[in-house]
Amino acid sequence: MTQFNYQNGRLFAENVDVAEITSTLRTPFYCYSKASLRKNYLAFEEALDKFNSRICYAVKANSNLAIIKTLGDLGAGADVVSEGEIRRALASGIPAKKIVFSGVGKTREEMEFAITEGVGQFNIESKGELETLNEVAKKLNKIASVAFRVNPDVDAQTHNKISTGRKEDKFGIDINLAPHLYQKAAGLPAIEPVGLAVHIGSQLTSLKPFREAFKRVADMVHIIRKAGHSLSQLDLGGGLGITYNDEKPPELQEYAELIQNTLGKLDVHLTCEPGRFLVGNAGILVTSVIRIKETGNKRFVVVDAAMNDLIRPALYDAKHGISSVLQPRSENTVLSEVVGPICETGDIFARQIELPELSENDLLYLKSAGAYGAVMSSTYNSRPLIPEILVDNVKFTIIRARPSYDDLLGLDQIPS
């Protein structure tokens, strides 16, 4: 998180004093660094420079239009999983031909929209989906380019809820069925099979699962080509982990070398779909202390952010580093639990961590909150969604405003 640093005891996002932001915008809010987004993207691009490749940002990681546009302006395409995400990518200026439509449950309506808009590639996950896409494309008198997402039965060795490449997971087709479905696709009038896709999970901190998956995909490429089919595309998905606390994910160069060693001789065009890697460490969640609550042998720091704003700790047992926006003058710390105001026992950001003595209105920030934070937020407990801001050097822009309570209530309708 190189763009979030202390200067004279005050946290800065690039060249913006985070505490000063709270004079115009009340907490909680998300704060992103444009310089971090740019740095992460260019590093990924440089690592893949030796390959015939493209980067399609996994929109689900953070779907704010300003974030998508920042990456799109650098050259990114988009990996999407819904019509809504297609619309976001298009609204952000990403050409339809640079969009890959993934997801296990595409509807006919979504397929029709994607084909009409000219989306470049569909990642197919079942025989039924292939047949439905053919029907929709034929009706529109179009040809849909498809890659088959294979399930290589590889354990990503990450959290169970974000592992996607095991045979018991809902994603992809059994890799051994790929030749049969490729043959079937080649015979359909409105389908053009172009390749294979694989994505085994998220927040991987070891290259071993990638190696196993890529080797199985390479073997399948040879089998499909030997059967007489053209195969020009490989979609490698995403999944590279980031550092939240003490994780040591692979270096980009190590990842690139793995790709070269397992897939480099296949003469294919590669697609990579990073999400968390690009945006995770580019954002923080800023929150204020509501009060300190002492109960028995525990000290609770109650903050105004909650699990509806950042659900990762409750959903994935994720651990985000937490620090003060203003560096404390004393080195004394107290064992604390950081909790939100939601009426759920699981509304906990951190258990038993050392924090300085804190008082009401003191500012804290949760690190590495740029991915799967705001995008997964909700209005549970009738709490309005919180703002998102984007810092660019010495200025910041609100890229999602906090809705009013009238806006929130106006979504409902009482029948007459």
| 193: three-class secondary structure by DSSP | strand
Asked if residues 353 and 301 have their Cβ atoms less than 8 Å apart, the reply is: no
Measure the N-to-C terminal CA separation of the chain; round to a whole number of Å. 53
Element (H, E) at 77: strand 77-80
Backbone angles phi, psi at 312, to 5 degrees: -55, -45
Q: Which two tokens stand for residue 291?
A: 């009060």
For tokens 């008198």, name the residue: 141
Query: Would you list the DSSP string of 242-309?
Result: --SSS--PPPHHHHHHHHHHHHTTS--EEEE--SHHHHGGGEEEEEEEEEEEEETTEEEEEES--TTT
Q: Identify the active-site residue in 31, 56, 272, 343.
A: 343
Backbone angles phi, psi at 334, to 5 degrees: -135, 140
| 23: three-class secondary structure by DSSP | coil
Q: How far apart are CA 264 and CA 256, in angstroms?
A: 10
User: How far apart, in Å, are the Cα atoms of 126 and each of 84, 122, 133, 147, 151?
Assistant: 22, 12, 11, 11, 11
Number of neighbouring beta carbons within 10 Å of residue 321: 17
- Among candidate residues 325, 341, 347, the one with its CA nearest the CA of residue 21: 325
For tokens 């952000």, name the residue: 92
Q: Which two tokens stand for residue 308?
A: 């509806």
| 35: three-class secondary structure by DSSP | helix
Q: Which residues contact 399 (CB under 8 A, 6 or more apart)?
A: 32, 64, 65, 66, 67, 388, 389, 390
Q: How far apart are CA 274 and CA 240, in angstroms?
A: 7
User: How far apart, in Å, are the Cα atoms of 187 and each of 166, 180, 184, 193, 399?
Assistant: 29, 11, 5, 10, 47
- Among candidate residues 57, 84, 25, the one with its CA nearest the CA of residue 389: 25
Measured N-to-C along each axis, helices 108-117 and 83-91 cross at an angle, to the nearest 10 degrees, of: 20
| 1: three-class secondary structure by DSSP | coil
Q: Is 56 in the active site?
A: no
Residues designated catalytic: 343
